[in-house]
């Protein structure tokens, strides 16, 4: 973060000792240490909150994608179901139509040849 070497720290300590004095220096150092600790915890809390918000945003996007995929799947299934229902309905109508028609006189078209020949004689 800061590029401060040992000699620079020693110089800051000597200046602080001269300016503040030897009797108040430990109290000031302790107070500065507490303030730096609080500042560091605050920065870490802010970083953690930002990370949580980013993860939450990613989860929201994933949720939206999953909901879109589920809607598309549901739409596809409903379309296929309607197609199958229409096909079944058309086949049922065709079968009903064949059942409602009176039988034709003469040999049946579906009967085998041996049956047709016996019926005609």
Residues 3-14 have pLDDT tens digits of: 778 888 889 888
User: Measured between alpha carbons, how far is 52 from 40 in angstroms, rounded to an integer?
Assistant: 18
CA distance 47 to 50: 5
For 88-103, give the secondary structure using H, E and C.
HHHHHHHHHHHHHCCC
Q: Give the separation between CA 83 and CA 79, rounded to whole angstroms.
A: 6
- Give the mean pLDDT of 20-34: 90
CA distance 106 to 116: 9
The DSSP secondary-structure symbol of 22 reads T
- Please report, for the chain, the start and end positions of each structural domain, with discontinuous segments joined by +: 14-87
CB contact at 8 A, 107 and 116: yes
User: How would you label 11-25 residue by residue, b for 16+ Cβ within 10 Å and e otherwise?
Assistant: eeeeeeeeeeeeeee
pLDDT in tens, 50-77: 999 999 999 999 999 999 999 999 999 9
Q: Supply the pLDDT for residue 108.
A: 54
Q: What is the number of other CB atoms lying within 10 angstroms of the CB of residue 64?
A: 10
């Amino acid at each position: 973060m800061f590029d401060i070497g040992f000699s620079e720290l020693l110089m800051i300590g000597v200046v602080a000792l001269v300016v503040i004095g030897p009797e108040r220096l430990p109290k000031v150092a302790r107070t500065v240490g507490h303030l730096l600790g609080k500042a560091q915890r605050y920065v870490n809390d802010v970083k953690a909150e930002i990370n949580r918000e980013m993860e939450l945003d990613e989860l929201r996007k994933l949720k939206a994608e999953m909901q879109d995929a589920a809607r598309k799947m549901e739409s596809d299934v409903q379309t296929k179901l309607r197609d199958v229902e229409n096909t079944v309905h058309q086949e049922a109508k065709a079968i009903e139509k064949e059942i409602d028609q009176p039988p034709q006189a003469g040999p049946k078209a579906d009967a085998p040849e041996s049956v047709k020949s016996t019926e005609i004689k």
